[in-house]
Structure 1
Amino acid sequence: MISQFFVLSQRGDNIVFRDYRGEVSKGSAEIFFRKVKFWKEDGEEEAPPVFNVDSVNYFHVKVAGLLFVATTRGNVSPSLVLELLQRIARVIKDYLGVLNEDSLRKNFVLVYELLDEVIDFGYVQTTSTEVLKSYVFNEPIMVDAARLPSLGAAAIFMQGTKKMPGTAVTKSVVANEPGGRKREEIFVDIIEKISVTFSSSGYILTSEIDGTIQMKSYLTGNPEIRLALNEDLSIGRGGRSIYDYTSSAGGGSVMLDDCNFHESVHLDSFDIDRTLNLVPPDGEFTVMNYRMTQEFRPPFRINALIEEAGPLKAEVILKIRADFSSTITANTVFVQMPVPAYTTRVSFELEPGAVGNTTDFKEANKRLEWGLKKIVGGSEHTLRAKLTFSQESHANITREAGPVSMTFTIPMYNASRLQVRYLQIAKKSKTYNPYRWVRYVTQANSYVARI
């Protein structure tokens, strides 16, 4: 049960506001934004997703640069409300095609109609795009996708041998193409978030993959779909899954610890040939979630070294090696490393000919930051940083610095080797041949190297 729902821009402008119960003051949006903007409690830089101010609970998530917020005076489950906010954002994106401030302002009538159907008097009714199509009748006003920033959620898929159409992630599930026709196509995304911890000597201490197979369908009539995964896929230790399926390949080359499926997925033949049968609902949804802790080859190797270089001085050397094919390019790579608290100045030295690199020393947080626009597979990059201290170190300097953490996005690459073998769509006629798009993306969840 929530009292209010609102969406704020990065400047704090109130784009959407709906008060369902009248229990919280109308100025809650301003109170929330001031609290988030000037959050300095417990040494944290950003406000947590849930906090309380004057007996009002505030829940928020950041989606596409917007703040989706709910308030309540009641004692409700935080995970429930945060999931609701994510689903509301997904439903709005399904209808508008593009989720940003401009599209919300142009389609505020449609957005308010959606909110009234999703939530009634603070209680959730449905978050299914398919169900909402029976009750919501306003047509979206489409925003030109060409005006979007080039480095957005869509940009990470624009690489590889098979380029995606520009409208791949900016289409509405209800609007037609110019001329009144609807382009028949379906998108399948295999998105993996990897967590790796390296020891100071470079050995892998822990490694884990959290993956998801997402689908977005623009097929009319909701035809049945058959999605085939690796034949040598094993689920659960020893090849037995949490659903008590017996692996067809025993100790297969791809072994998942566990997985779960969307309610629309039929698993009748999954045990035999690793195929999923489903009738996809409208909008974006998760077909399958999976987790893997079996050893895998990490995409990057990080070597970090810090040593004293004289009185009140030290030198840091960071090396990154891309251990994947040269046909693949990682982008938006960002490396950071905490340095001793008494560091006062840092000078950086990059490799000769380095392009697209940014370096910075955050003095307030005592942290080095290194950004690389892109890294081609098989390449190695080095950063040297000279530190100046305000006092002598009386302890082992390596204990006062690090660890090194890294974030990145690698299109058309997946560490688990889980693959979509084929994607079959039930034919309505001999000429029916919709477009099929399969995309792979790997992102860093927690990628850390100790010093």
Structure 2
Amino acid sequence: MISQFFVLSQRGDNIVFRDYRSEVAKKKDGQEEAPPVFNVDGVNYFHVKVVGLLFVATTRVNVSPSLVLELLQRIARVIKDYLGVLSEDSLRKNFVLVYELLDEVIDFGYVQTTSTEVLKSYVLNEPIVVDAARLQPLGPAAIFMQGTKRMPETAVTKSVVANEPGGRKREEIFVDIIEKISVTFSSSGYILTSEIDGTIQMKSYLSRNPEIRLALNEDLSIGRGGGSIYDYRSLSGSGVVILDDCNFHESVRLDSFDMDRALSLVPPDDEFPKRDNLKLK
């Protein structure tokens, strides 16, 4: 049960505020850094930071902290799906749409839904398009990008509900491949542990929700089977892709995955991940 929800800027300004139950008094802003979850005078405070904005919820009920923190993350994701760009400027220019979303997501403190696809049936306002900030320079990492093309930043900052000028429906789908590398070195410079975590994220603008087939490497192998890191090195350059473990979004069907490494799915309207994890230990 949520009593209040608000979004704060980096300066601490109140951008969005919704009081659902009128049971928590307003307090003066503090200057110290607060933990993600804390209690003051019987009021539980929860907050997460998303792209420099603080998404905050309060309640007097003893609820699971992980539940509220996950709710805040999902609200931020829903707002980004509708606005395309999640920033202070986009929130201020689309405050009517944001409040309409909040009233549909939470009713008198009780969560109703956080699905962008479901909300499209109830939220009628169109977003005001806000240009995203320019992509930051890659710096030293640019050496790895020579000879490659970068997708225009507008590709991942579009609203999932706004149409193109003239009312034309977009027929686009974007696929992002995100990899995170974690390596631990000894004092002598030797690699102690190494790990790669990867995620494939899709964002669909296709009408009528068609079925999509995503083909992966046919030599994909899942599960190391107790092999060592040297087994990986012996297979390097052979075209074989080895994943220690992987899991998929609920919309992914794996009927033919074992035969041809192809995924069938009907993508939802919001951004969703299909995760692949590769770990070398």
Q: Give the fraction of aligned pairs with identical amino acids, expressed as a percent.
A: 83
User: C-alpha offsets along residues 324-383 of structure 1, whole Å, 9 cap, x if unaligned?
Assistant: xxxxxxxxxxxxxxxxxxxxxxxxxxxxxxxxxxxxxxxxxxxxxxxxxxxxxxxxxxxx
2:5 is the alignment partner of 1:18: no
Q: State how 1:23-422 maps to structure 2 within 5 Å.
A: 23-27=23-27, 30-31=28-29, 34=30, 37-39=31-33, 47-145=34-132, 148-151=133-136, 161-238=148-225, 253-286=240-273, 288-294=274-280
Moved beyond 4 Å, runs of 4+ = none
Q: CA deviation at 1:294?
A: 2.1
Aligned partner of 2:59: which letter? T
Aligned partner of 1:13: which letter? D
Aligned partner of 1:82: which letter? L
Cα 1:269–1:282 shift into 2, 3 Å: same
Aligned partner of 1:10: which letter? Q
Check the 8 A contact 2:134/2:153 in 1, yes or no. Answer: no
More strand by share: 1
Gap runs ≥5 in structure 2: 227-237
Q: Secondary structure at the residue paired with 1:237?
A: coil
Separation of aligned partners in 1, 2:77 and 2:176: 15
Separation of aligned partners in 2, 1:121 and 1:236: 47
Report what 1:399 is aligned to.
none
Separation of aligned partners in 2, 1:48 and 1:234: 42
Aligned partner of 1:132: which letter? L
Count residues in correspondence. Answer: 265
Cα RMSD, aligned residues only:
2.4
Separation of aligned partners in 2, 1:101 and 1:107: 10
Separation of aligned partners in 2, 1:84 and 1:278: 26
Larger Rg: 1
Q: CA deviation at 1:223?
A: 1.1
Check the 8 A contact 1:211/1:291 in 2, yes or no. Answer: yes
Cα 1:195–1:142 shift into 2, 3 Å: same
Q: CA deviation at 1:105?
A: 0.8
Q: CA deviation at 1:149?
A: 4.4
Report what 1:5 is aligned to.
5
Q: Normalising by the residue count of structure 2, what TM-score does the alignment of the two structures yield?
A: 0.86
Q: CA deviation at 1:152?
A: 9.2
More helix by share: 2
Check the 8 A contact 2:6/2:16 in 1, yes or no. Answer: yes
Separation of aligned partners in 1, 2:59 and 2:262: 44
Separation of aligned partners in 2, 1:131 and 1:119: 14
Q: Normalising by the residue count of structure 1, what TM-score does the alignment of the two structures yield?
A: 0.55
Gap runs ≥5 in structure 1: 40-46, 240-250, 296-451
Aligned partner of 2:5: which letter? F
Separation of aligned partners in 1, 2:204 and 2:119: 16
User: C-alpha offsets along residues 220-248 of structure 1, whole Å, 9 cap, x if unaligned?
Assistant: 11111101112222223329xxxxxxxxx
Separation of aligned partners in 2, 1:3 and 1:163: 43
Q: CA deviation at 1:292?
A: 2.5
Check the 8 A contact 2:135/2:153 in 1, yes or no. Answer: no
Aligned partner of 1:26: which letter? K
Check the 8 A contact 1:3/1:72 in 2, yes or no. Answer: yes
Separation of aligned partners in 2, 1:110 and 1:137: 8
Aligned partner of 1:23: which letter? E
Cα 1:65–1:252 shift into 2, 3 Å: same
